């Protein structure tokens, strides 16, 4: 009767909850539908999304060949893609060819569904993962939460075409099947001795094959999948400390290890050969060597305890293991520096150009997860108990996985989407504990708080479990009222988390597809450049090899803020000076837009082969303040306070308001001088310079600006910008709210996008 009630009453409600959560997740993910399926489809993001579109179209033109080198991105040196591998572009290109996709609009509309469908595949994996770790309720709760947890949802939204969707899916699949294999490596009971011929027959081949498949697909998607290999190695190394409490067959362990990781080893070697790139060849072969060496490391650390035990020196095993690990780290750092670059990616990224690379704050963490921190705390306590009392290696894996990415997220908040998956597994376990043991906690609390505790215990000492409650509906089903209250509490917390995550995710998606979507004015400007600029000698539909490429004599680049690099290349089909990412010419681009020195400007434009420079209102609001704030990149070096400051004043109602004041260096920057005044001579407001004397309006520099002779306006958008339209950073608004009506009218007339052609100053003088 009880089993039937459990199956048909409780879990009908819970299955409804997961369906409810999935529907919320689907509806939020489809918010951008009107933007994507339109005459002017625009994907989320300004960076990697557009690069993946470039990769996809290039693969479609040269199917099934994949390009590892892009001479038109990061011009003039070009871009070699080490971290992003061919899986997603190949899948997207295959979909395009099968559906006869042609042209930018059709391509974007068709393949924008890839992240959405990957999120649906994540649900069953999460259910079985949670169920394996702590029962049915844990699986259902984890599967429901993964549908709506913000960082995963935003990266699997319709139109968020990036490798993150597969990164989440494949890492989750790999971790599930590897954790499932741990009891096979460390069985609870002694496994009878079997011959070498039988050891393969008794292996759980389905779990091994699927684990290997997910890891291989992860490597084919993005090289950061190697982090999960590192997690496996660290967890198994920790497991060696419990070797006395565990039963292990080393042959079985090493065989399972190589069956999982050998396919990826061969894939890395194969990719290194077909890439015909010396950089990729060296990097991928070293990573393949690391996968091969992992099995040797495991054999050593699980053999050492036997040696120490025979020598009666077992207490020194931990010290020796620490020494051995330190030696391995030193050797790895010497011969495989790429592995430490990967670690820096998560913990100490050296060149932070994007807000998502900023550290996660405690306040932001608490606001994001809110009430979910209660069940996850219980899940953490449960996992620690399993590790401490039972030496459970599966929970060591989950706990280390969670701790690794929790620390990484507090270094750079972009890693939250890695953290969210172990988070929902632990939260599911915590909710399951409340579901199972909540009643026991309630009864214990009542026993300790009742005024008649002693008599209560005595009265119920000889009664069966649950019979201390007066006859009622609950007793008829052999379920104490306290257990009902525990389950009601679990369901209540569960639905509160669903609502909180859904609310946060909804706001994130709405904000992303409002502020982080490429505006149509920029797209129109790039299409104009494609049709009205000379050929560069680089075919955007051709695959080039890094070792055989030479910069064309008539080649040139578009200068854009680095965040727009990939998008400018996709729409203009012209070389761009930056990759749309962090490394390639990023610092140089920042210094150029913030430059106040014409000689330095000429030097940078020549080194980048720049011919056209793009300035947009969105860039001035979003990126330029960050460029100026990181003023160490811009000579001559001054602090952000020398450019602008925010003052306070009281209006006629007595309310205090903030407004910006702009100083001369602000107007002297290349970006502002070109955008506001087209590089022309401007007469200043003041004749006598006082310290930090600022302007009253963004359109009135304090002092004269010299003409920039080497830039000529060639394009401006039809759409104009008004104060506070488009995305702005609240902390650094560039438009003066105190402008007079006449100045506001003048400001209204400034186009949103401007393009300037650069001519070397010596050429201009010769023509003159």
Residues 59-93 pLDDT 10s:
988 988 898 888 998 888 888 877 678 899 999 99
Q: What is the architecture, at CATH level 2, of domain 585-767?
A: 3-Layer(aba) Sandwich (3.40)
C-alpha–C-alpha distance, residues 512 and 379, integer Å: 32
Tokens 């009864």 correspond to: 443
Determine which of 272-286, 498-512, 572-586 has the lowest per-residue pLDDT on average.
572-586
43, 83, 156, 158 from 567: Cα distances, Å: 10, 19, 20, 18
| Per-residue pLDDT tens over the stretch 118-130 | 999 999 999 999 9
Which range, 187-201, 455-469, 731-745, is most confident? Answer: 187-201
Confidence of residue 211 (pLDDT cuts 50, 70, 90): very high
361-375, 435-449, 617-631: which range is least confident on average? 435-449
| Tokens linked to 682 | 């401007």
d(CA 130, CA 127): 5
Residue 605 pLDDT grade (very low, low, confident, very high; cuts 50, 70, 90): very high
Evaluate if residue 360 carries a pLDDT over 50: yes
C-alpha to C-alpha distance for 211 and 205, rounded to whole angstroms: 10
Rounded-to-integer distance, Cα 212 and Cα 218, Å: 10
Left (φ > 0), alpha (ψ -120 to 50) or beta: where does 61 sit?
Answer: alpha
Does pLDDT of 176 surpass 90? Answer: yes
Counted residue by residue, the chain has a size of: 768
Task: Please provide residue 649's backbone torsions phi and psi, each rounded to the nearest 5 degrees.
Answer: -150, 165
User: Of all residues in the chain, what percent carry a pLDDT higher than 70?
Assistant: 69
Where do the DSSP E strands lie in 67-219? 69-70, 79-80
HSE-CB for 523 with a 13 A CA cutoff: 13
The pLDDT score that the predictor gives to residue 212 is: 95
Cis amide linkage into residue 601, ω under 30° from 0: no
Structure tokens at 621: 């609001």
Q: Residue 312: is its pLDDT beyond 60?
A: no
Q: Taking CA 291 as the corner, what is the angle to CA 289 and CA 293, rounded to the nearest 5 degrees?
A: 65
Q: Which residues make beta-bridge pairs with 558?
A: 576, 612
646: burial class by Cβ within 10 Å (0-12, 13-18, 19+)? exposed
- Residue 228: pLDDT band with limits 50, 70, 90: very high
Least Cα distance to 558 among 541, 546, 540 occurs for 540
CA distance 650 to 653: 8
CB 519 within 8 A of CB 53: no
CA dist 630 → 183, 352, 492 (Å): 51, 10, 47
Q: Distance between CA 361 and CA 369 in Å, rounded?
A: 12
Query: How far is CA 391 from each of CA 186, 188, 293, rounded to the nearest angstrom?
Result: 10, 10, 26
Whether residue 239 is predicted with pLDDT greater than 80 in this model: the reply is yes
Find out whether the peptide bond into 76 is cis, omega within 30 degrees of 0. yes
State the pLDDT at residue 460. Answer: 43
Residue 749 has pLDDT above 60, yes or no: yes
Beta-bridge partners for 222:
84
pLDDT at 530: 92
Alpha-carbon distance 123 to 673, whole Å? 52
> What pLDDT, on the 0 to 100 scale, is given for residue 472?
37
Start and end residues for every CATH 3.40.50 domain found in the chain? 585-767
CA distances from 486 to 375, 378, 513 (A): 13, 14, 40
Please report where in the chains the tokens 């309006």 appear, as a residue. Answer: 697
How do the residues of the chain divide into helix, strand and coil, expressed in percent and rounded to 5?
65, 5, 30
Count of helix runs (H) and strand runs (E) in the chain: 33, 8
In the predicted model, what is the mean pLDDT of the chain?
Answer: 78
**Residue 521 above 70 pLDDT?**
yes
348 pLDDT band (50/70/90 cuts)?
Answer: low
Confirm if 398 and 523 have CB atoms less than 8 A apart: no
């Amino acid at each position: 009767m009880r089993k039937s009630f459990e199956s048909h009453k409780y879990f009908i409600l819970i299955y409804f909850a997961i369906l409810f959560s999935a529907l919320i997740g689907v509806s939020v993910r489809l918010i951008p539908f009107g933007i994507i399926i339109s005459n002017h489809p625009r994907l989320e993001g300004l960076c990697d999304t557009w690069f993946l579109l470039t990769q996809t179209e290039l693969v479609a033109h040269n199917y099934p060949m994949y390009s590892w080198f892009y001479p038109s991105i990061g011009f003039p040196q070009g871009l070699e893609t080490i971290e992003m591998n061919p899986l997603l572009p190949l899948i997207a290109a295959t979909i395009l060819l099968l559906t006869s996709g042609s042209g930018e609009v059709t391509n974007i509309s068709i393949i924008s569904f890839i992240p959405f469908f990957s999120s649906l595949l994540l649900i069953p994996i999460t259910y079985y993962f949670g169920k394996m770790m702590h029962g049915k309720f844990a699986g259902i709760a984890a599967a429901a939460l993964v549908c709506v947890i913000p960082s995963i949802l935003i990266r699997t939204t319709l139109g968020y075409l990036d490798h993150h969707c597969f990164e989440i899916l494949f890492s989750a699949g790999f971790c599930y099947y590897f954790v499932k294999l741990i009891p096979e490596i460390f069985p609870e009971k002694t496994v009878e001795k079997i011959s070498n011929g039988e050891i393969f027959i008794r292996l759980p081949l389905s779990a091994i094959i699927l684990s290997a498949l997910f890891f291989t697909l992860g490597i084919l998607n993005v090289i950061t999948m190697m982090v999960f290999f590192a997690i496996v190695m660290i967890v198994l190394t920790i497991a060696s400390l419990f070797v006395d409490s565990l039963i292990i067959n080393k042959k079985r362990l090493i065989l399972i290890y190589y069956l999982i990781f050998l396919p990826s080893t061969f894939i890395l070697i194969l990719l290194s050969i077909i890439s015909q790139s010396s950089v990729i060849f060296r990097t991928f072969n070293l990573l393949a060597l690391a996968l091969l060496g992992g099995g040797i490391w495991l054999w050593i650390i699980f053999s050492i305890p036997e040696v120490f035990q025979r020598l009666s020196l077992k207490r020194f095993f931990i010290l020796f293991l620490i020494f051995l690990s330190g030696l391995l780290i030193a050797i790895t750092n010497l011969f495989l520096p790429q592995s430490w670059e990967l670690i820096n990616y998560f913990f100490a990224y050296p060149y932070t150009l994007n807000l998502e690379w900023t550290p996660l704050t405690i306040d932001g963490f608490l606001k994001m997860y809110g009430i979910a921190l209660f069940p996850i705390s219980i899940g953490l306590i449960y996992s620690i108990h399993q590790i401490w009392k039972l030496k459970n290696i599966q929970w060591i894996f989950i706990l280390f996985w969670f701790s690794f990415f929790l620390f990484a997220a507090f270094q750079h908040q972009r890693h939250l989407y890695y953290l969210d998956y172990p988070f929902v597994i632990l939260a599911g376990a915590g909710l399951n504990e409340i579901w199972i043991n909540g009643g026991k906690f309630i009864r214990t609390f009542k026993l300790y708080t009742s005024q008649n505790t002693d008599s209560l215990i005595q009265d119920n000492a000889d009664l069966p479990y649950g019979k201390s409650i007066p006859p009622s509906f609950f007793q008829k089903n052999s379920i104490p009222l306290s257990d009902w209250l525990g389950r009601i509490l679990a369901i209540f917390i569960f639905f509160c988390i669903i609502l909180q995550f859904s609310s946060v995710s909804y706001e994130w998606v709405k904000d992303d597809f409002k502020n982080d979507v490429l505006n149509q004015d920029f797209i129109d400007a790039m299409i104009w450049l494609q049709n009205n600029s000379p050929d560069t000698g680089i075919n955007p539909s051709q695959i080039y090899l890094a070792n055989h490429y030479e910069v064309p004599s008539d080649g040139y680049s578009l200068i854009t803020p680095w965040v727009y690099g990939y998008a400018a290349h996709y729409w203009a089909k012209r070389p761009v000076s930056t990759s749309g990412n962090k490394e390639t010419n990023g610092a140089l681009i920042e210094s150029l837009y913030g430059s106040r020195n014409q000689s330095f400007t000429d030097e940078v434009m020549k080194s980048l082969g720049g011919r056209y420079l793009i300035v947009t209102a969105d860039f001035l609001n979003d990126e330029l303040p960050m460029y100026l704030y990181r003023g160490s990149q811009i000579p001559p070096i001054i602090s952000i306070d020398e450019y602008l400051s925010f003052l306070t004043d009281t209006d006629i109602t007595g309310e205090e308001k903030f407004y910006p004041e702009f100083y001369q260096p602000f107007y002297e920057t290349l970006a502002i001088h070109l955008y506001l005044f087209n590089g022309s001579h401007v007469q200043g407001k003041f004749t006598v310079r006082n310290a930090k004397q600022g302007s009253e309006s963004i359109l009135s520099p304090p002092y004269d600006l010299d003409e920039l002779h080497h830039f000529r306006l060639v394009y401006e958008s039809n759409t104009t910008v008004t104060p506070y339209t488009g995305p702005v950073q609240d902390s650094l608004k560039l438009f003066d709210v105190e402008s007079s009506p006449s100045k506001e009218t003048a400001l209204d007339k400034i186009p949103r996008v401007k393009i300037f052609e650069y001519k070397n100053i010596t050429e201009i003088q010769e023509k003159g």
